[in-house]
Structure 1
């Protein structure tokens, strides 16, 4: 079995550590907070982030150099905004070249780079082809309970994807492979925008009809943008697309849904983020997707509406009324995203 370092001590990092430990791997769990590492080692719990027993094969570290010593793989599960900083810290202490797998879901505002691009840009001795991504419909709370979960891993280098598949797959955590890195990462990031919208819809009390429409039209937006950036539209019908979108838009486990729900009930964004106490990636991703849509000249009315709510203090109800009164059109206009069969990977 392998020695693996998991960087990021939130709920998702904890859940993936449990999967790896169940598979018999020696898991090094890294947090930059010394008190958190000490508490985890003493109690076998990560109480603040995930209410689950932590197997004894998991040891928590607060010193990065010790956590990554002689590991065969590094799993990066950290917020988008911290990726560059952690990569720079890794460059200072990493003395070998383990496989790097990331399970973060976001796009960097400003640069509009996907996580794999940021990692390969910042890490010494790693090219884009060396990075692997893990994504799919996977609430940490359910993974921690060993409930059936299915995800996808993707890398330009097939051997890296197969390595990640073998590392994680077990009877409760099924893993597929894909070569569409662009689609896998965009699906995992952009669904958080629509989840914010679904939470707002529920917070306003608009019911299942509205939320179903929002999810469906949101998928059309995600597909349009993804196809314009080189992803296969079919990827967005799979686990990291429609699968992740459904689970994130319909469950109170989703922090993006919860944040949107509070916005729909009248809370301001600053109040929401303060009460959540955890990163809400959909907020940053909305800003990035809004910029993407403008640059690619892609119509994304739901994303535009959420951008106005989050950053221009528009009232959610007013934005919904604007969306409902848009010029009438043919629904299947969006099928044009599927007509191109030459998709760069």
Structure 2
């Protein structure tokens, strides 16, 4: 099976290397010639992994036409570009494809989940299914072949099992699931929680605070996801609490890093003016705010993050306001 991984960033590179390690027919597509040359000639992606040697069998290209003969395409691009890239893939493909999405968030124009956005962007005659490959994983660790487990989630269980088989190896274990709604919403909301976790760290709070945040954040994730049809059991799995724990606890998380800078400065303006990295949780916070309002859902942590990012509220005030809300039962 020929696979094209679109996006030579950290996650795309790590997943392409997984397939190369598994002796699969894979090629990595990138838009930056210097990066592609680095991969092909030096077996490195120095921009993201300066100290890591890649599998020498991994090859990269700047020619999008490689999609034409693919059987599977992995979309490893930010959520804001998923629809446009999926349409490009659809226009170029000459057969039905399994499309693997690894982005976590929503389409910024339609508020659709990633799998919905991909299906709407592609010609149905070119699409076998969408499989979301998501869970608690940092590219920096996968590229070093650290032991990791994630999920292949799809409405098409057979294609999910195909993805499971292609990617699984001694250091990456893939489980399958069919709860697309719950898994994708959990993976999206956890990015907002990771920003909140970074903020409390930047403000100087420690383990007790983070434990409370993760636990109460999980309740918000469940509340939000089940309101849109997700299975409650999904949120105690890898795409729920698993993803939440790793993203709220790791300095490798861009969302955590963003929150930390915001919390340390106790204001958001400087970060928003100077940030040049993709921080999925920033856009997601706005969409979660809008969707929660439509459903009249109580999402206090997400709401405070929204107010920090979009209304300029001081992070220290948000922490205080969360603690001083009306007292109630936990469940």
- Does residue 58 of the first structure (1) align with residue 58 of the second (2)? yes
CA contact (8 A) 1:152 1:176 kept: yes
- Tell me if the contact between 1:108 and 1:288 (Cα under 8 Å) persists in the aligned partners: no
Contact 1:109 1:287 in 2 (8 A): no
* 1:74 correspondence with 2:73: yes
Rounded to whole Å, the distance in 2 between the matches of 1:70 and 1:129 is 15
* 2:211 paired with 1:212: yes
Query: Taking structure 1 as reference, are residues 212 and 25 closer, same or farther at Cα in structure 2, changes over 3 Å only?
Result: same
Q: Please, which runs of 5 or more residues in structure 1 have no aligned partner? A: 333-345
Change (3 A) 1:184 1:173: same
8 A Cα contact 1:154 1:184, kept in partner: yes
> Whole-Å Cα distance in 2 between the matches of residues 89 and 5 of structure 1?
13
Task: Report the counterpart of residue 46 of structure 1 in structure 2.
Answer: 45
CA distance in 2 between counterparts of 1:270 and 1:317 reads: 15
> Tell me, which stretches of 5 or more residues in structure 2 are unaligned?
none
- Corresponding residue of 2:197: 198
Q: Which residue of 2 aligns with 1:184?
A: 183
- Name 1:303's counterpart in structure 2: 302
**Aligned-partner SS, 2:151:** strand
- Return the alpha-carbon distance in structure 2 between the equivalents of residues 120 and 103 of structure 1: 15
CA-based RMSD of the aligned residues comes to 1.7
TM-score by length of 1: 0.92
Residue-by-residue CA offset, 1:279-301 (whole Å, 9 max, x unaligned):
11010111111111001111001
Supply the distance in 1 between the matched residues of 2:273 and 2:35 (Cα, whole angstroms). 20
Indicate the residue corresponding to 1:164 in structure 2: 163
Number of corresponding residues: 330
Change (3 A) 1:213 1:262: same
Residue 8 of structure 1: how far off its partner (Å):
1.1
Give the drift of 1:59: 1.4
Query: What pairs up with 1:113-132 in 2 under 5 angstroms?
Result: 113-125=112-124, 130-132=129-131
Q: Say if 1:105 and 1:281, in contact at 8 Å, map to a contact too.
A: yes
> Match of 2:241?
242
Q: Could you tell me how far apart the structure 2 residues matched to 1:94 and 1:268 are?
A: 46
Kindly tell me: are residues 294 and 128 of structure 1, through their superposed partners in 2, closer, same or farther at Cα, counting changes over 3 Å? Answer: farther
Instruction: Kindly indicate whether the alpha-carbon contact (under 8 Å) linking 1:129 and 1:156 is maintained by their aligned counterparts in 2.
Output: no
Shifted more, 55-64 versus 187-196: the winner is 55-64
- Note the alpha carbon deviations across 1:290-335, whole angstroms, 9 max, x for none: 1110011110010110000001111000111111111111111xxx
Deviations 1:232-291 (A, max 9, x none): 011010011000100000110111111100000117546435665421101011111111
Change beyond 3 A, Cα 1:129–1:306: farther
8 Å CA contact 2:2–2:24 kept in 1: the answer is yes
Cα deviation for residue 129 of structure 1 reads 7.5
Aligned residue number for residue 227 of structure 2: 228
Matched, 1:251 2:247: no
